[in-house]
Amino acid sequence: MSDAAAGLLDNAAFYPAPTASAAPPFHGSLRIKQTPMHFEPALLVSDIGGRNAQLFPESRLDFFTLDDLLIPVQWGQMVGEDPAAHSSSYWSLIPQFGRVWRDTADASGWSRAAYPLMLVNDLENHAHQGLASFRYKDAAVSDFRFQFVQQTAPYLLKQHFLAWGSAPVEYAGLPTMDLQAAREAARRELAARIPSRPWTDLTSQVGSDTLAGFGGPLNPKWVVATALLRAGVLYYADSMTPCGAYPYPLEMRFGVRSVMKSIAAPLSLLRLAQVYGPDVLTLKIGEYVAGLDEKFNRVRFIDAANMATGFGGTGTLCTQLNEFEDGYLEADYDGWYTAGSHAEKMAHMAKRLRPYPWDPGTVLRYRDHDFYVLGVAVDAYLKSVRGPEADVWDMLCEEVFAPIGISAAPATRTREPGAQRGFIWFNAGYFPTLHDIAKIALLYQSRGEWGGRQILHRDLTTELLGARGALSKSGGAPISPAEVADSLPEPIAFGKPTHYRMGFHFTPYYDRDSGKVDYLPTMWGSGESEVILYPNGLVSIRIGKAAGLMDEGTVRNASAQTTAEVVNKLGAFSRLR
């Protein structure tokens, strides 16, 4: 840590020491004033869309205690500035569960409170994992401090940084609310979490040598968090920062970017297929979204979910060999990405993009636009069968996330004029925890069943995990059922994903013991975040912060084992075929 970052504290200051004693209960509102933050290194760009990235946002956060836990009323929610009062900060906040305690050496009568705090924004999908603290005594608070010490991959702010500062804060009583009901909701949230243990518990079971290379081949300096779900237990490693280990690793929320493509689209389509029938996948996008090129009248929902709309008009017309990312960031991608409203995004597409000469469903070309319009189309379909107040993300929260124990799902929406609610981004925008990611992966692995209830369409979920019909990124034929378990002509190790279907990349892994190839369903997001689902119910999670700002050679460690090779040692592929 440089001298310029001397204002940062060791992360341990935001967590009670073993010698700490119990603190009295706390409940109240903190009204935090907008304040400049300190940065290391200094921001190269601070004005984005007329909003200032150097300002901690003016905000109000409400808290109560549950034993020694500090519970934000707005936990798991994106809390932004009130546009009627301030709209000049680029940032919003997501608070999570923290702790309260009293230092035994402090005879002043003040108690301490600290909690995890994510710094996010409503225009993209990166998150800065941070910590905040204050002291309280009766109806007074003081010493509000914050620091942001880790992050997922940057994009619009094209750099990694640390940030910290202090802000004026005022105490006020809680708004009228049922505190007992709020505490019960917090208890339910904690009870619904997957059993979790620190990484050291796993190494004591299988040996540190067995796990060497987990998270690879990504260079460890770009790793934010890693975890492994094994036998129903989530084992999580320390998330290291320049200020020490992050003290609340299971409360961290991450900007997972295109991992969202493996969540919003497949979960909504598989849920709607369960409720209304599999034909939902064959509905045409052009029938539900106005303002699109006429070719979308032939584009099915499943074509968009497969990145095969046949629309984009950038890159080459070569499809043999195909390059699935050809033209991905062309046609003023940033102009589309930063367009705030749905109308602005659609106008940008109409101006910049054109149809390809091939039919929908035939050629894979990676396009965020496909997933965005798919989300709008699915939302419109839902409104057509349930009424104008229906919302696809609300449906997922109520009918998919809640039954599996995910009670908060912050995500980015378009910014519409007035009080109109925006469209959820299917292409990116979700801020999950490790628990959330693990539960979603488990739901897929259980073929859409949870607690004896079939939430997702079972047959379609089975086909998805088996890579049935997955399109080749290089332009070859889709995967047939017979090919999934066949040997390849030449042995290959775990490498780059070769196929794609419904938001999932499929990565071939050659199991040397069996001589067979598994196509591993893989969620992937910019920054090298990766979630891999294995045959025996194992799930590996790696959250990364690498970005297109550095050479590929600095991102990957060529000598490191891949995560799949490590997990294979734990019996991921030891199954009857």
Q: In 419-570, which ranges are continuous DSSP H helix? A: 434-445, 458-465, 552-555, 563-568
CA dist list (Å): 283 to 273, 307, 308: 11, 16, 15
Q: Are residues 40 and 66 in the same domain?
A: yes
- Write down the pLDDT at residue 4: 53
Residues, the chain: 577
Cα(57)–Cα(304) distance, integer angstroms: 37
Residue 85: per-residue pLDDT: 65
- Asked whether the bond before 283 is cis by omega within 30 degrees of 0, the reply is no
Residues 277 and 361 in one domain: yes
Which of residues 388, 404, 420 is at a domain's end? 404
Kindly tell me the sign of the dihedral angle through the C-alpha atoms of 270, 275, 281, 287.
negative
Domain residues for the domain of 19 are 3-191
Q: Tell me, yes or no, whether 81 and 184 share the same domain.
A: yes
329 to 127, 175, 469, 527: CA distances (angstroms): 22, 46, 27, 16
Residue 371: per-residue pLDDT = 98
Residue 119 forms part of a structural domain: yes
Q: What is the pLDDT of residue 491?
A: 38
> Is the peptide bond between 217 and the residue preceding it cis, with omega within 30 degrees of 0?
yes
**Is residue 400, in this structure, part of any structural domain at all?**
yes
Nearest CA among 309, 302, 392 for reference residue 349: 309
∠ CA 492-544-251, nearest 5°, is 130
Residue 337 lies in a domain: yes
Give the CATH number for residue 308.
3.40.710.10
| Within a domain: 419 | no
Q: What pLDDT tens digit does each residue of the chain (577 aa) get? A: 555 556 899 999 999 999 999 999 999 999 999 999 999 999 999 999 889 999 999 999 999 999 999 999 999 999 998 766 666 999 999 999 999 999 988 778 899 999 999 999 988 899 999 999 999 998 899 999 999 999 999 999 989 999 999 999 999 998 888 899 999 999 999 999 999 999 999 999 999 999 999 998 999 999 999 999 999 999 999 999 999 999 999 999 999 999 999 999 999 999 999 999 999 999 999 999 999 999 999 999 999 999 999 999 899 999 989 999 999 999 999 999 999 999 999 999 999 999 999 999 999 999 999 999 999 999 999 999 999 999 999 999 999 999 999 999 999 999 999 889 999 999 999 999 999 999 999 999 999 999 999 999 999 999 999 999 999 999 877 876 545 444 443 434 556 788 999 999 998 887 666 667 788 999 999 999 999 999 888 999 999 999 765 566 678 876 667 898 899 888 776 643 3
Question: Per DSSP, what are the bridge partners of residue 285?
Answer: none
Verify that 321 and 399 share a domain, yes or no: yes
The neighbour count for residue 33, using CB atoms within 10 Å, is 14
Q: Are residues 110 and 223 in the same domain?
A: no
User: For the packed helices 368-386 and 264-276, what is the interaxial angle rounded to 10 degrees?
Assistant: 30
Would residue 577 count as lying in a domain? no
pLDDT of res. 486: 45
Tokens of 150: 């880790």
Dihedral of CA atoms 382, 385, 388, 389 in degrees, nearest 10, equals -70
| Domain assignment of residue 242, yes or no | no
Distance between CA atoms of residues 526 and 428, nearest Å: 10
In a domain, 411, yes or no: no
- At 402, give phi and psi (nearest 5°): -60, -45
pTM for the predicted model, two decimal places: 0.95
Paired tokens of 353? 């993009």
Whether residue 203 is found in the same domain as residue 182: no
Residues 21 and 106 in one domain: yes
